[in-house]
Each structure stands twice: as C-alpha cells, then as structure tokens.
Structure 1
Amino acid sequence: MKRKKIPMRMCIGCREMKPKNELIRIVKTPDNNVEIDPTGKKSGRGAYVCKNDKCIEASMKENQLSKALDINVTKEIVSKIKEELSNL
C-alpha cells in the first residue's frame, strides 16, 4: 500500500516545519478581518502558528504575522486570537 503524504507547513513563530493538522491557521478574510480558521478551508490569505502562546508572541514580536497576512496586526487582534485559542 502507498503511504498517504502528510502536508507540512511552517509555523511563523518558531519557524519549524510541522504537519498541517498540528498547527492553527490564522486567515485574513477578503473583507480584511483577521480570524482563526479551525477547518483550514476559509478563503483568504493564511498563516500557520503552533498552538502555544510562545509562537504567537514570537510572531508578533518579529512582525511576522503582519507580513504573512499583509495587514497591520494590532495588539487587540492578537489578544482576540489568544482568547479564541484558549476556547479551542
């Protein structure tokens, strides 16, 4: 039997390649809202982050989230993302 290929994505916080299902996708929707995409199928520009606070903080510190989503990500958006992650 053939083994199924596991899609790999890079976390923008720690810059490590991990399987796609271990990461959270943050997406900028076409109407310029930033939100978490638990299904990984929403339309828009996306970035992948590990499920811990360290990677989110690192991506914010180095401005990687803003660059990846091509939008200015404020601290309010980051706090909203952290809150949604804790609810997952």
Structure 2
Amino acid sequence: MIQRETSARMRRSTAHPSGGPVRTCIGCRKRELAVELLRVVVVTDGNGPGNGPGTVTVDAARTLPGRGAWLHPDPQCLHAAIRRRAFGRALRITGSPDITAVMEHVGAGAEAP
C-alpha cells in the first residue's frame, strides 16, 4: 500500500505542472505544452494514396483527422523544420509536401530559404 502511494506521488511530480499534454516541436525539437504549439496535418485531394504528398495545413481547431505534427508559431522553428525535412518524417509522407499554408500562418512566407 505504501509503495503505491510513493509511485503515484512520483508520477505526479514528474508530470508537467499544468497537467496538459506535452508535444515536441518538429523545428527546434523542444518539448512544450500542446497549447503553445501549432498542430499541422497533411490534406490530400482524396483520390487515394500515391497521388503526391499533399498539402500541409494548420489545424487551428485541432479536429482534423490524420497524423499531426507540432510546430512553434515561430519563423525560426519553421525554417529549421524545412531545413531538416521534418514535415515529411513527422507526417510519414513521401516527397516534399506543400507547406505554403503553414508559411503564411507563421508569417514567414517572404523569408523562406
């Protein structure tokens, strides 16, 4: 009985203080609360797999289906994710996806490398 109390106490102390979910930014690889990050998902034309990598869009409501990736709303993290080709790996897609919508949302459209 005492061991269970100790284990539960240890788990609570190692959890994030706010108790919210923690995600990793695909740009800088830092862990942050999910509410501080943008969720991005890939949207395809619906004609089945193999028709290109699709378009990456920001899921502001966090309700779009599919695998998501997380990114700080910071141009530096966006450029790091582009440089590391992290969108394809995180979203598990082949090819280079269209990330124009994400660039416009972050405000880095004119600064893209």
Structure 1 position 45 matched with structure 2 position 67: yes
Equivalent of 1:79 in 71, 87, 100: 100
Tell me the CA shift for residue 4 of structure 1.
Answer: 6.0
Letter of the structure 2 residue corresponding to residue 73 of structure 1: S
The Cα of 1:23 is off from its aligned counterpart by 0.2
| Structure with greater strand percent | 1
- Over aligned residues, Cα RMSD in angstroms? 2.0
Residue 33 (structure 2) pairs with residue 19 (structure 1) = yes
TM-score, scaled to structure 2: 0.63
Could you tell me how far apart the structure 1 residues matched to 2:55 and 2:101 are? 12
In the alignment, structure 1 segments of 5+ residues that lack a partner are none
Instruction: Tell which deviates more after alignment, 17-26 or 29-38.
Output: 29-38
The structural deviation recorded for 1:64 is: 1.0
Mapped pair 1:67 → 2:81: no
- Structure 1: distance between partners of 2:56 and 2:27: 17
Query: Which runs of 5 or more structure 2 residues have no equivalent in the other structure?
Result: 1-16, 47-53, 108-113
Residues paired across the two proteins, number: 82
- Greater C-alpha Rg: 2
Query: Is the alpha carbon distance of 1:55 and 1:42 closer, same or farther for their aligned partners in structure 2, counting shifts above 3 Å?
Result: same
